[in-house]
Amino acid sequence: MIITKQKSLDEILGMMEGKKSVFIVGCGECATTCRTGGEKEAAEMSAKLIEKGKTVTGSVIITAPCLELDTRRVLRQNKDAIEKTEAILVLACGAGTQSVAEAAICNVYPGCDSLFLGNVFRHQHFYEKCSTCGECVIGYYGGICPVTRCSKSLLNGPCGGSMQGKCEVDNKKECAWIMIYERMKKTNSLDNLTKVFPAKNHSAGTSPGMVINAGIRG
Ligand code: SF4
Ligand code: SF4
């Protein structure tokens, strides 16, 4: 899922300077889980904006704003309120915000910053384990991603700087290469670590990504 954090009210008000009325769109999936754009956060945002003198013309939580056709349908259902608004504030990731921007005719503003594609460990504990590089190599590393989880993205690690199992770049994080070593030891596959892997093919992860009928990526 996409991990987001809500922007500060000051930043949101700064972006919407001069706009008096606003309609709020939230997200029923990722942003609800992150507590950045669910029912509760949309209601709280509405109250804050009203306190700052804005007119809130309405709000809606779209199940998943990144589903563009569904987003268009929900916005059509809220046409009357949206026609009265000068701005739409979206409490969702950048993908969801762009779905709204492409479907709406007024100014659309992001209420959240998108941080990473995250695994949910437990309530409000999110970890980045994949950075969608376009060519998955974890089969050579015991199922642990060195591209994302090693701070230096080393394919031939470790760097030698790890202290007590922690990464030298950020000692709050586990050293990915110690995890890889321990995992491969458990599965009797340490021999694989004697191989030297070529530099990562970064051209496989070109942006903007596109997949059509599961066949084309560009
Ligand atoms: S190798 Fe690439 S696709 Fe595989 S987990 Fe790591 S970042 Fe994701
Ligand atoms: S300490 Fe471990 S995770 Fe950190 S950069 Fe070095 S090899 Fe990578």
pLDDT band, residue 114 (cuts 50/70/90): very high
Distance CA 126, CA 181 (A): 23
Task: Kindly state if the Cβ of 161 falls inside 6 Å of ligand 2.
Answer: yes
Atom of ligand 1 nearest to the CA of 134: 3
For residues 58-68, give the mean pLDDT: 97
Phi, psi at 165, each rounded to 5°: 80, 0
Least confident of 49-58, 94-103, 164-173, 208-217: 208-217
The dotted CATH code for 2-116 is: 3.40.50.2300
For residues 104-120, give the mean pLDDT: 95
pLDDT value, residue 75: 97
pLDDT value, residue 217: 55
Instruction: With beta carbons less than 8 A apart as the criterion, state whether 115 and 4 touch.
Output: yes
- What per-residue string of b and e applies to 148-163 under the rule 16 or more CB within 10 Å gives b? bbbeeebbebbeeebe
Local structure of residue 25 (DSSP, 8 states): E
For residues 75-79, give the mean pLDDT: 97
Task: Kindly state if the Cβ of 117 falls inside 6 Å of ligand 1.
Answer: no
Local structure of residue 85 (DSSP, 8 states): -
For residues 10-35, give the mean pLDDT: 98
pLDDT higher than threshold 60 for residue 216: no
Task: Kindly state if the Cβ of 130 falls inside 6 Å of ligand 1.
Answer: yes
pLDDT higher than threshold 70 for residue 181: yes
Distance (angstroms) between ligand 1 centre and the Cα of 14 equals 37
**Single-letter code of the amino acid located at 104:** A
End-to-end Cα distance, the chain: 22
> Side-chain half-sphere of 36: how many Cα atoms within 13 Å?
25
pLDDT value, residue 38: 98
Task: Kindly state if the Cβ of 155 falls inside 6 Å of ligand 2.
Answer: no
Task: Kindly state if the Cβ of 165 falls inside 6 Å of ligand 2.
Answer: no
Task: Kindly state if the Cβ of 180 falls inside 6 Å of ligand 1.
Answer: no
pLDDT single digits (tens) 22-34: 999 999 999 999 9
Query: Which listed ligand is nearest to 151 at the C-alpha?
Result: 2
Domains of the chain by residue range: 2-116, 133-205
Structure-block tokens of residue 200: 């990562």
Identify the residue whose C-alpha is closest to ligand 1 atom 3: 136
Q: Tell me the average pLDDT of the chain.
A: 95
pLDDT value, residue 212: 87
